[in-house]
Amino acid sequence: MELGLWGDLMLIAPITANTLSKLASGACDNFLLATFLSAKCPVMLAPAMDLDMYSNSATQDNLDVLKKRGITVLDSPSGELASGLCGKGRMEEPEEIANAIEDFFTSNKPLTGRKALVTAGPTYENIDPVRFIGNYSSGKMGFAIAEALSNQGAQVTLVSGPSALQNTNPDIKLIKVTSALEMMEACENAFPTVNITVMAAAVSDYRPRVTADSKIKREKKGAFSIDLIPNPDIIKTLGSAKTDSQYLLGFALETNNAEENAKKKIISKNLDAIVLNSLKEKGAGFGVDTNKISIIDSDNKITRFELKSKADVASDIVDFIITRTSK
Ligand code: C5P
């Protein structure tokens, strides 16, 4: 039964004494029971019946059998029943059922209780009030990673350079920055309290030594040059402050000697792993919705992945982090 395989949770609300007895005995004479028997997901029940039916030992035995099989049985509160009797047997209030579902999902996620920091997008380094040095990073990969970490229960801070993307997830705290220096400040503030950091931003390596206060006029003749100074390497700064309980993952976008260069960056920036995406791969890199990655561990082990949507690539990266941080 496709439905039983598809769901993340099966809730039967209300469930009658008759259906409870069929679940306990393994009967399969209707659609609901067939779905229940083939379900691979957890099951939650909200019984609703008259007082005497609820307290009958046959019903209570059925409930015990189902609980022993790992099924969650919600309370049936006391109150006025359809028969006019007063006592236990009412279906749990819908708000309480919704709370139970929320608790179920939040307390069963692998990254519940962990904090994560993600960087995304480009940085813009201002030349004057109307011009900047930037790059083609869209922010898609970093936003997808923030979403995937949040889906697994992490409390996420996303520091993003200028991007057209919107954050629609209320559980992700988005800090918008423009320049590398602003990104650095936001990351240094967040880093001491986070467990997992993923740096997917394409940070500008240089910035103009001076940002002009007014628009620079075109020179009448000859060449024009801008004096550039290096930006701080944000991930390297965080890497040197990293403790044993913090996991730091970087990105590398290489055009030649990709794996060798990525391995060197793990050491020079004190990373736990690096995600390598080569610009040579069709469908990988800036702007597009897909990516093809390899992840290199600090012990130089390489895990290669197929070309996938950035959302699926983000899930792969987060699954990888979960396996490496739950030892
Ligand atoms: O050295 P490279 O720029 O190739 O390193 C890429 C990794 O370093 C990415 O994770 C990127 O987000 C991070 N980075 C950074 N600050 C910089 C440059 C790169 O955090 N100034």
Tell me how far apart the 2 most distant CA atoms of the chain are, in Å: 97
Question: What is the C-alpha to C-alpha distance for residues 65 and 223, in angstroms, rounded to an integer?
Answer: 84
User: Which CATH number applies to 2-107: 3.50.50.60, 3.40.50.1950, 3.40.50.720, 2.60.40.1180?
Assistant: 3.40.50.1950
Residue ranges of alpha helices (H) inside 39-139 are 51-55, 57-68, 94-107
Q: Is 275 in the pocket of ligand 1 (CB under 6 A)?
A: no
Class of domain 115-325: alpha beta
Asked if the model's pLDDT at residue 10 lies above 70, the reply is yes
Q: For the segment 168-208, what is each residue's pLDDT rounded down to a tens digit?
A: 998 899 999 999 999 999 999 999 999 999 999 999 999 99
pLDDT given for residue 293 in this prediction: 93
Question: What is the C-alpha to C-alpha distance for residues 133 and 253, in angstroms, rounded to an integer?
Answer: 19
Question: What is the C-alpha to C-alpha distance for residues 43 and 30, in angstroms, rounded to an integer?
Answer: 17
Asked if the model's pLDDT at residue 255 lies above 90, the reply is no
Atom 9 (ligand 1): residue with closest C-alpha? 251
3-state secondary structure of 268: helix
Among 23-32, 99-108, 276-285, 294-303, whose mean pLDDT is lowest? 276-285
Q: Is 119 in the pocket of ligand 1 (CB under 6 A)?
A: yes
What pTM does this model have? 0.77
pLDDT given for residue 285 in this prediction: 67
Partners of 308 in the β-ladder = 291
Partners of 202 in the β-ladder = 122
Query: 234: CA distance to ligand 1 center in Å?
Result: 7
Atom of ligand 1 nearest to the CA of 119: 12
Q: Is 252 in the pocket of ligand 1 (CB under 6 A)?
A: yes
pLDDT given for residue 287 in this prediction: 67
Q: Name the residues annotated as catalytic.
A: 135
Asked if the model's pLDDT at residue 20 lies above 90, the reply is yes
When the pLDDT of each residue in the chain is averaged and rounded to a whole number, the result is 93
List the chain domain ranges. 2-107, 115-325
3-state secondary structure of 44: strand
CA of residue 267 relative to chain centroid, distance = 26
Same fold, 2-107 and 115-325: yes
**Best mutation site among 182, 251, 267 for ligand 1, i.e. most ligand atoms within 8 A of its Cβ?**
251
Query: 65: CA distance to ligand 1 center in Å?
Result: 56
Question: What is the C-alpha to C-alpha distance for residues 261 and 251, in angstroms, rounded to an integer?
Answer: 11
Q: For the segment 259-314, what is each residue's pLDDT rounded down to a tens digit?
A: 999 999 999 999 999 999 867 777 776 767 888 999 999 999 999 999 999 899 99
276 versus 327: the higher-pLDDT residue is 276
